[in-house]
Amino acid sequence: MLLPGIFILLAAVQIAYALCFFRRIFSIPPAASLPAKERRPVSIIICAKNEAQNLKQNLPLILSQRYNNESGVALYEVIVVNDASEDNTAQVLKDTEQRYTNLWDVIVPADAVRGLKGKKYALSKGVAAASHDWLVFIDADCAPSSNVWLEKMVAPLSAGKQIVAGYGGYHQDRGLLNAFIQWETMHTFLQYSTYILAGKPYMAVGRNMACTKQAFQTAAASPTWNALPSGDDDLLVSIAGTPDNVAVVCDNIAFTGTKSKATWAEWISQKQRHLSTGKYYKPEIKRLLGLYGIAHAGLWISFFALLFSDHVVFAIIIMVIRCIVYWVLWGQVAAKLGNRKMIFLFPLFDIAWMVYNFAFLPYITWKDKKNWK
């Protein structure tokens, strides 16, 4: 009876996570509006390394935000940090600056003496050049979903929050890789957003987040900040986030979107970089995330083992209950994030996530990815 007992325990742990954390996704309020008289100036910061084509395509959308004062004057600047690009980034920025007076570029030469690793150095230059205390971060390959994206993302700052975590999705395309990336991104958002709502913030995504300059400086002053060349988004929330100072924005007019990686090799390299940050989370968060991953993997492994035992009917009943809870939950989240098409693949991706955790275990636990591009 040892294996059936373990199976029941793991199923209980999974359902407990759904009830204690993930159900909170439905309590995220609609993105607030910010009247013109309450708006404060904002600095949008973009770090770019060989992003000429993406900047040419996305900068006009970022620079077309309806975030003005009562007189109709734009209340935001866009700062692009050109981090030693070798393509046509400089020319694209020069041409675009002639059309937009609130666009600035900061050039980081290839031979710059860097006191910080990777993207952190470029980011520090962008923040140093920022004129305003409210900061918004978006990647060069991302586009906002609407012209009120900026207003929605900074509204919680006006309400006293220090950090705002948004949703950065990927454009839907054909193929199993794109579908899994959509699911994994949704699943990640479900985790970090509901942890924030539970008072346990640990990450956000740098392609759609906002914070005060004070929060950024608090994170940058930590010894952990320079442990990796990337991970600025996760570390900022992990270091400067508190149970009360982080907000979540989940509204389709406040999303950002980008193109997903085209090959499994490119995606694996990207995930190695993203997951390297996890080992620097607070101990409590590492325990919670670790227990969730172990319970998920252990549940499926023990379920498959029980299929070849005298407890097969019992195992199927318990697993059906667990899957109904999770697949209904994921279905609602997918609808909320505009990804209904992936719903029929939930059984496959549920199992695939177990393989995902085993495959990336070295980067989750001890290895670091040494570059950000």
**Looking at the domain covering 28-175+201-260, what would its CATH class be?**
alpha beta
Q: How many CB atoms lie within 10 A of CB 344?
A: 10
How much of the chain exceeds pLDDT 90, in percent? 81
| pLDDT for residue 369 is more than 60 | no
pLDDT computed for residue 154 by the predictor: 98
pLDDT computed for residue 137 by the predictor: 98
Q: How many CB atoms lie within 10 A of CB 320?
A: 10
Question: Where are the domains positioned within the chain?
Answer: 28-175+201-260
C-alpha span between 175 and 166 (Å, rounded): 26
In degrees, to the nearest 5, what angle opens at C-alpha 132 toward C-alphas 277 and 106? 70
Average pLDDT score over residue span 45-63 = 97
The DSSP H or E segment spanning 210 is: strand 209-212
- Classify 44 as helix, strand or coil: strand
Band (pLDDT 50/70/90 cuts) for residue 228 is confident
Band (pLDDT 50/70/90 cuts) for residue 148 is very high
59-75 b/e with 16+ CB inside 10 Å = b? bebbbebebeeeeeebb
Contact 306, 312 (CB under 8 A): yes
Least confident residue range of 29-38, 57-66, 128-137: 29-38
pLDDT computed for residue 162 by the predictor: 98
Residue 282 class from Cβ within 10 Å (0-12 exposed, 13-18 middle, 19+ buried)?
middle
pLDDT computed for residue 275 by the predictor: 75
| pLDDT for residue 367 is more than 70 | no
